[in-house]
A and B are shown apart, each in its own frame.
Chain A
Amino acid sequence: MSTSVFSFHFQRSAVAIAACAVCMAAFTQSANAQTIISVGAGAVSGSTADRALFGQYNGLGEDRNLVGILGIDYSMRDQDAGQWLDIKGSNLLGHTRELGLVWKNPGSWKLNANYGELTRYDPSTINTGLLGAGSTTPQVVPVAAGAGSDLTLQTKRTSLGLGMTKIISPAWQVALDLKTEKKEGSRLFGIGMNCPSVIAVPQCGANTGWALLMLPEPINASTSQVETRVSYAMDKLRFSLGYYGSFYRNNNDTLNPSVPGSLNANAGLINILNQPVALAPDNQAHQFDLSGSFDLAPSTRTTFKLARAIATQNLDFTSAGLTGAPAGVSNLGGNVATNLAKLSLTSRPIKELSLLADWRYENRQDDTPIALYNSEGTATYTNQSFPNRKTKGKLQASWQFNSDYRGTLGADYETIDRGVFTATSAIAGVSALRQQTQETGVRAELRRRMSDNASGAVTLSSSKRTGSNWLKDNNGLGLTEVTDVSNPVLGLPSTSILPPTLADRKRNKVKIFADWQPSEELTLQFSAEGGKDQYDVPTVYGVQDTRMNLLGVDWTYTLSDAWAINGYLSRGQQTLNQALPAGYLMAFNDTSLNASIGFAGKTTSKIELGGNLLYVNDRSVYAQGLDASADAYSAALLASTGGLPDIVFRQTALKLYGKYALDKTSSVRVDLIHQRTSMNDWAWGANGVPFVYSDGTTVMQQPTQNVSFIGVTYSYQLP
């Protein structure tokens, strides 16, 4: 159980900001101040299920159809007193309200404060018999599918930030920023178990039985961040010393479900399901850094950053309700230190030539103590250390051939060393790991200015990644280096799957960009990208290759001094080929079409109109073939079901607004939104058959969601 590091009282603080703002406004009435207040109301159609995707983040996902609108925009500039004050507030009557204040004396000091709320409504509707959903002690109550109560999960973030900057002298500056955010609510989560189990023999016993349960993860935590920086700027040298601290505090240590024996006859299974689930532990991180730049010569500059960070986690297991820790161990003692050094040199020795050299070194040392946390049957093994050392280098040269042509050549290098595998630990479910990978790449770019109205660029890049020998699972402690992957005894099994993040890879990419303004009215932009990752692994399983391409055109057209239209069209495609031993040969293909057209203009000096129509069509295809060693069951399953249906996400969103100036100080604005969405994701159900948890819980996302919104806002500028 923990409390926030910074005890900000959100509501009172927000009121304080507002009160302060009013005082400031009253105090500076004689200055050049402008205050615009906006009030209004909005109505949204449909049920929460209709608005599930539309209302995820905009506050319109909750169970009400009418909303109030309140906003404030205050700005004051007092040149005589050297005072600047901005106060902005939006959605002040809703659950996504924001209020911000910037008060400064430019060139001397600055204060800023902001308060914000953001509620995310999970787009799924859950039907369940669960009691205490969202608490740390939910009670599972089995029901027939669809016979429970509806539940919508949400998480709410409430944040408060304060900042101060003081310019002490032309050379010295100090800044301090504090931010704290509280997160409350619950999110989709759950537990499951299958018996018998080779890893849980004593717990499961010999009996069969399995269960999956939907249990929302209870969220009641806060994250506080502090950042301070002292900066110094001389003629050629600029540097700053900084500290960043981050503190996470979770008021929930464990999730303790209550699962009745009536759920399944296997008592061992029920016992496992009633075990506590550890939630995220309190943790904290601190970083000190020195960064800056130095001018070696008028056209040569170096930038640098040195940093050391320490992240710790030492939640007491017992007080958190977590038992069974190894003897003598009361907390993990998590301690990870990261050192960073970055140095960059840019130079322009002659007018035509620009050079860049960049080097980055990051060393993560995992000093978390090792202890016998793990058991499998009678075997015991320790937790694992995760050190990581990354070195990156970049060289680049650009040549300005003439005013129209500029060419660039670059070379990149990256090496990652993940450290020696903890010999007293073990892995499961992974064929092999790799300690080191290194990647080298080259880039070439040509930019051409065809005319005053047209320019373009072509970029080609190619890189190759290799690594150290694979380290295969010993089926016990540690890993063994494989020096000959094809050796039938000492090599890798032919059914091995090797992680694509570690595998040898060839990456090629091309990018073409062109800007063209054929007339004063019309501007066009063309873009085309294509890339391929080819994995070179010793087996035919796992990810073999991935591809992407994206074509797009953007345009704007000025119809007159008062009217303009714009739009874009883009089509992207991603493919992936992946294989599973004795299973599928998956050819995944995602095609996405995005089209938009918009307009804005004024019919008269009083009437302003605008709008945008957006269309998105995304189709994911999961085309499967069969591996040569696939069994008859898999073959029959694929033949009888046809495999996995395509998933299509389609959305059309029309947004219109009109603004009428009643007089010089007031206006009325009408906003209209109509959004139509369809999505046939089969994760939670297909063909009318829902996915049902063991207690009868179902999760549903309405496949077709149509929603309309109308808002009317009156804005008045105070005298």
Chain B
Amino acid sequence: MQIKRSMAIVGLCLAGLLGPFGSVQAADEVGAKLCQTCHDEDDRPDISKTAHGFTADARVPDCISCHGPSPTHAKKPPGAPTQPKPDRMFTKKSALPASERSAACLSCHVNDPKRALWAGSQHDAADVACSACHKIHDNQDKVRDRATQAEVCYTCHKEQRAQMNRPSHHPVPEGKMVCSDCHNPHGSAGPKLLKRDSVNDTCYTCHAEKRGPFVHQHDPVTEDCTNCHTVHGSVVSPMLKMRAPLLCQQCHTPHATGKVGAIGAPSVGTSGKNTTNLWQGRSCLNCHTQIHGSNNPSSTNSTLPLFMR
């Protein structure tokens, strides 16, 4: 009995000490620790595998860095009908302008040379915030995973999604290439946010055999690969905007027997420039095979300027 009474007295004293001490401790929580009093480990998603979850890195932000101090969210003001949201919200329903949402990320990431040209870039100018593509509170940020990146881009780029479903395409649906292999969505000096400074320079990172320069060059090739190719996908191999000879005849005058398209004509002419050879096989490229340019220097061979050898 005496032991029980003693234990009760000790317990009460302890409660007396801990109670007010505990509440004083809770009232003193500041910064991210205050957030964690409600958003504890059970409530927070696992980001342990992400850069933001690697707390040994002194640069890693805390809740306040991105969401702001949010005092009214942390402690609901008396009389407020509902608990106010944090200062900065990044969800779809957020009323915060895109530039302010991105500013939270840029406070650290602006120093990254790969994001140097973000300001004024197409995505910035179109009010696409960082949080539109990136999921920060998730170990699996879909846009940074090669297997799922294209899905995120297709949220806005529907035309490219449809083109990728066509039979002649870069291996994006197969997961062997991703959009960011050619594009830098964070800003670039090239057109259409291409990684290099021009369409051609971007293509040459994998297709350097087309760079030349060549002895015999083809104007539209040196100017822009997309004059002839539609790089996201086509029904015409190899990713042509239009099949030959229609594509070629957008610039070139004809030289064929029969100037209409026909298959299986009973009499197609005796010349090699007949309807069948012009519309089937590789069409104009049956003969004009070096269409990207030829380095053959033979000054006595008059077929060379026509990209035939």
Contacts and interface: CB of A to CB of B under 8 A. Distances in A.
Contacts of A586: 246, 261
A645 B281 CA distance: 15
Interface of B: 48-49, 51, 53-60, 92-93, 95, 97, 99, 110-111, 113, 116-121, 124-125, 127, 155-156, 158-159, 161-162, 165-167, 171, 174, 176, 187, 189, 197-198, 201, 204-206, 208-217, 219-220, 222-224, 227, 235, 237, 242-243, 246, 249-255, 257-266, 270-273, 275-277, 279-283, 285-287, 289-290, 294-306, 308-309
Contacts of B212: 281, 283, 311, 313, 334
B306 A193 contact: no
Interface stretch (A16-24, A135-143, A572-580): A572-580
12 contacts: A56-B171, A192-B272, A195-B272, A231-B113, A332-B213, A348-B99, A375-B300, A581-B254, A637-B262, A649-B166, A682-B263, A683-B281
Contacts of B262: 637-638, 641-644
A689 B263 CA distance: 10
Interface string A387-430: 01000000010101001001000000000001000000010111
Contacts of A686: 263-264, 280
A384 B197 contact: no
B116 A240 contact: yes
Given A192-B272, A543-B250, A641-B265, A305 B158 contact: no
Interface stretch (A38-46, A475-483, A626-634, A711-719): A626-634
B249 A303 contact: no
B59 A107 contact: yes
A376 B306 CA distance: 11
A671 interface: no
Given A346-B124, A429-B253, A588-B246, A194 B189 contact: no
Nearest to B59: A107
B201 to A, nearest CB: 8
A48 interface: no
Interface string A327-353: 001001011101010101110100000
A332 to B, nearest CB: 5
Contact of B299 (A287, A380, A452): A380
Interface string A111-152: 000000010100100000000000000000000000000000
A366 B263 contact: no
Contacts of B116: 238-240, 291-293, 303
Interface in A500-523: 500-501, 513, 515, 517
Contacts of B266: 640
Contacts of A348: 99
Given A291-B113, A638-B262, A317 B167 contact: no
Given A281-B214, A303-B119, 15 more contacts: A194-B272, A203-B301, A210-B272, A278-B295, A283-B213, A307-B189, A313-B211, A322-B297, A529-B159, A581-B254, A622-B261, A633-B258, A638-B262, A686-B280, A691-B280
A358 interface: yes
A356 interface: yes
A186 to B, nearest CB: 13
B264 A578 contact: no
Contacts of B113: 173, 175, 229, 231, 238, 240, 242, 291-292
A82 B216 contact: no
Given A281-B295, A293-B110, A431-B253, A374 B263 contact: no
A293 B273 contact: no
Main secondary structure on chain B at its contact with chain A? Answer: loop
B264 A497 contact: no
Contacts of B259: 580-584, 627, 630-631, 634
A624 B253 contact: no
B309 A107 contact: no
Contact of A388 (B158, B223, B277, B279): B223
| Smallest CB-CB A-B distances: 6 pairs | A583-B259, A210-B272, A324-B298, A194-B272, A280-B209, A192-B287
A292 B189 CA distance: 11
A190 B282 contact: yes
A567 B176 CA distance: 23
A676 interface: no
A358 B187 CA distance: 13
Contacts of A466: none
Nearest to B172: A57
A495 interface: yes
A3 B170 CA distance: 28
Contact of A210 (B51, B162, B204, B271): B271
B162 A53 contact: no
A277 B289 contact: yes
Contact of B302 (A191, A200, A211): A200
Say whether chain A's binding surface is mostly helix, strand, loop, or mixed. strand
Given A332-B295, A643-B260, A594 B161 contact: yes
Interface stretch (A7-15, A73-81, A601-609, A658-666): A73-81
Interface size class of A (residues with CB under 8 A): 35 or more
A667 interface: no
B219 A212 contact: no
Most buried by B among A57, A118, A362: A57
B250 A344 contact: no
A383 B258 contact: no
A205 interface: no
B298 A550 contact: no
Contacts of A582: 259
Contacts of B227: 501
Contact of A428 (B49, B93, B264, B306): B306
Contacts of A373: 215-216, 297, 299, 304-305
Interface in A363-378: 366, 368, 372-377
Nearest to A217: B289
A324 B300 contact: yes
B91 to A, nearest CB: 10
Contacts of B205: 223, 225, 246
Contact of A578 (B55, B97, B250): B250
A250 interface: yes
Nearest to A433: B219
A101 interface: no
A641 B268 CA distance: 11
B171 A550 contact: no
A561 to B, nearest CB: 15
Contacts of A75: 49
Contacts of A651: 165, 167
Given A303-B116, A303-B120, A79 B242 contact: no
Nearest to B91: A452
A192 B302 contact: no
B299 A584 contact: no
A342 B304 contact: no
B189 A291 contact: yes
A345 B308 CA distance: 48
Most buried by A among B242, B253, B306: B253
Given A57-B176, A212-B287, A430-B253, A358 B304 contact: no
**Among A242, A550, A634, A687: residue with most chain B CB under 10 A:** A634
Contacts of A200: 301-303
A645 B167 contact: no
Contact of B158 (A181, A430, A552): A552
Contacts of A276: 296, 309
A641 to B, nearest CB: 4
A188 interface: yes
A56 B242 CA distance: 21
Nearest to A523: B92
A172 to B, nearest CB: 11
A592 interface: yes
A487 interface: no
A377 B302 contact: yes
A38 to B, nearest CB: 14
A644 to B, nearest CB: 4
Nearest to A404: B95
Given A283-B212, A373-B297, A691-B276, A77 B49 contact: yes
